[in-house]
Amino acid sequence: MTPGTAGISPLPAVESAFTLSWPESDIALLTFDLPGKGANVLSRSVLAELKENLAALHERKGVAGLIIKSGKPGTFIAGADLREFVVQLHAPKDQVVALCTTGQSLFGMLSKTPFVTVAAIDGICVGGGAELACWCDRRIVSCHPKTEIGFPEVKLGLYPGWGGTVRAPRIAGLANALEMITSGEPIDSKAAVLMGLASDRVRPDDLLRAAVRMIRDEQRSGAYVRDRKRWSGPLATEPTELGFLGATVSAVIQQETKGNYPAPSAALELMLETCSLDAPAALAREATGMAELFGTPVNAALIHVFFLTDRNKRDTGLDRKDVTPAVIRSVGVVGAGIMGQGIAAANLKTEIHVAIADAAEDALTLGARGVLEEASFDRKLKGPDAQRALRLGPLLTVSHSEAEIVACDLVVEAIVENAEAKKGLYARLEPQLRPQAILASNTSTIPITKLAEGLARPEQFCGLHFFNPVRRMKLVEVIRGKVTSDETIAAAVAYAKRLGKLPIVINDCPGFLVNRLLFPYMNEALQLLGEGASMKEVDRASLAFGMPLGPIALYDLVGLDTALFAGRVMWEAHPDRVLLSPILPAMVKAGRLGQKTGNGFFSYQNKKKKAQPDPEADAIALSYVKNGTKFTLEQLTHRLFLPMLLEATRVLQEKIVRDVRDVDLGLIFGLGFPPFKGGLLFWADTLGAGKIVEMLKPLEGLGERFHAPPLLVEMAKTGQKFYGLEMKSV
């Protein structure tokens, strides 16, 4: 019987990930181009194919060198296939050790060939890709802006396990390798050459020729043979220098992680220990150490966060697949305040033409300067890059009239948080807009449907809620009003992604997603103050949980007047479970508005403008304490975070979000919910609905805000998890 007969289709041919060619008769070129994928990743099948190619070349006579390069522009290798990692998360430790040892042995073949091996890197080279490159004799990098090398494993709760902790310090020096591996941050091509991780830096179109030249040079000099011997031994280190390096890096790690992320410290300890060992012993220690991190709760949570962001990259914001988003080529921003400047700068950085307007001429002048400075800011220079400013300047229009604004594809309103003021602006702008133009509001609390009242084209109106500061906050809430069209949502989502943001689509409600879930947490902090908890105790409980800032300090950052207004909006929407504390209006009445005025719940009247206790603020808060109560850390934690979780459950009941994953993505990237917990709902699933309901029982007397919603009660009965609920999108 021939294949394909009797209703049985033939198996599809497996396409190769690697192509072997010969740019010169004795120099092999192995081009990695994973079929059907936008980036090269290292899966089991890919590694098996790589092994076959290396083994065949090893046996072939007359080979002078091997060059490994990518066939995908902008990417060399983007690490390992994490989907295969997830399957192994609960594997026994001996299996984890075996997985690491297998990878080390495979990559180690590159350092044992009878010929020179060169990694020709153009684009992103991270994780397992960086380890593969480190096992080559030489690395040559392109000067393309996207070219970078990094070991981001600590961001997944791990460290490099295929030889990275052994090879990188022996090639680039212990201090350089420690900084790269414990921070997880990549370095650009210039830095790679300066630290010795790469041997040369050339134009992308000269990469292959340069690699061939390098092989010829190495053949003549034999330097690669000497380096192989040197890199297989221990590192030459002095105890005093080692001790100082360890103490310095440890202090930086503690400051960055607050002890919540074990991988950077584990990597530091490992590399300090193994630098005095020969490479085989160091590799064995790397593998056994990896088994201690792999599959831990932090590792599982951080891999979960990775998949949240990965899914967001692919999500169009719609369940429909037949909508092609319109391309936004020009953006008008009305309002030159902090948010308007941030939004305009984000567009300018992406080289989207942007026009900015403001009713106040002084504000517009200052705002335009701020936009250009922000868009041209260079981290290395710690200030604006003059050349970048000159390049971006022509893309910015400072508009004293609305003519330039209304000619744009998208107009974003970022004026005062007042519904009537916003509606007045829309009434003036909308008749002048182009027929297909989208109008959007950066409102943080006011329902989009309410703002759309009176618009002639409400279907082309949506919320685009950026977070402050725009340059650092990746989340954008795309809010769908009652009649907002799918086409508008699709265009808004695609636009936000073009800015490098993580957009989530939310159905309209007061506070949308992040602020709706933030308010119960913030509100409860004030209730705790009124019951006798100190500001220090409340913030300490939040920080111990893993939040970047306590709720009391967050009030000062947001602005107490802004928080008071937002609280009023939430109380009007949910009076059954929102309690208005007298402490906040009392602070506002006293002129204590937070960091912007130099005092709020804390004082900022010092050179560094850091929060310090203020007796006046303490006195205001204490004047409203009725019965002083002593709280344990656990009680404070439950009081702060359970209301947030219950509100998230209500959000799911009301179908405010399309997918449970949007809740966790929103809170991690919009609020700073600790990634090492995986997100609010992921954390809740580690507790279980039944346990959460039990935790609520002692608090039910405090009112409706601590009563379990029907969805949570049902989940407790059935053992259902949040991440087992039916999802509308993938």
Residue 702: which of 622, 653, 640 has the closest Cα? 640
* Per-residue CA distances from 327 to 324, 445, 491, 495 (Å): 9, 27, 7, 7
CA–CA gap between residue 273 and residue 290 (Å, rounded): 14
Quote the CA–CA distance of 136 and 167 in Å, as a whole number. 10
Do 420 and 443 form a contact (C-beta atoms < 8 A)?
Answer: no
Q: Which residues contact 213 (CB under 8 A, 6 or more apart)?
A: none
In contact, 504 and 312? CB cutoff 8 Å: yes
Tokens of 278: 């020969």
Q: What angle do CA 185, 190, 195 make, to 5 degrees?
A: 75
Of the candidates 144, 400, 465, 638, the residue annotated as catalytic is 465
- Provide the greatest CA pair distance for the chain: 91
Asked whether the CA dihedral 26, 46, 306, 634 is positive or negative, the reply is negative
Q: Is 433 left (phi over 0), alpha (psi -120 to 50) or beta?
A: beta
Question: Which 3 state secondary structure label does DSSP give 357?
Answer: strand
Cα 716 to Cα 504: distance, rounded to the nearest angstrom: 28
How much of the chain is helix, strand and coil, in % rounded to 5?
A: 55, 15, 35
* Strand 148-150 relative to strand 138-142, pairing: unpaired
**Tokens, residue 1:** 């019987």
CA distance 680 to 690: 16
Three-state DSSP state, 487: helix
Q: Write out the two tokens for 338.
A: 């902090």
Q: Contact 502/465 with Cβ under 8 angstroms?
A: no
The total of other beta-carbon atoms located within 10 Å of residue 89's CB is 13
Identify whether the C-beta of residue 72 lies closer than 8 Å to the C-beta of residue 38: yes
Helix (H, G, I), strand (E, B) or coil at 642: helix
Residue of 118, 28, 108, 112 lying closest to 64 (CA atoms): 28
Angle ∠(54,56,62) on CA atoms, nearest 5? 100
Task: Identify whether the C-beta of residue 493 lies closer than 8 Å to the C-beta of residue 317.
Answer: yes
Whether residue 465 lies in the annotated active site = yes
Return d(Cα 222, Cα 611) in angstroms, integer: 60
- The whole-angstrom separation of Cα 558 and Cα 62 is 68
Per the DSSP assignment, residues forming a β-bridge with 31 are 19, 69
Structure tokens at 441: 């509001």
Residue type, 81: D
In the DSSP assignment, the letter for residue 142 is: E
Catalytic residues: 465
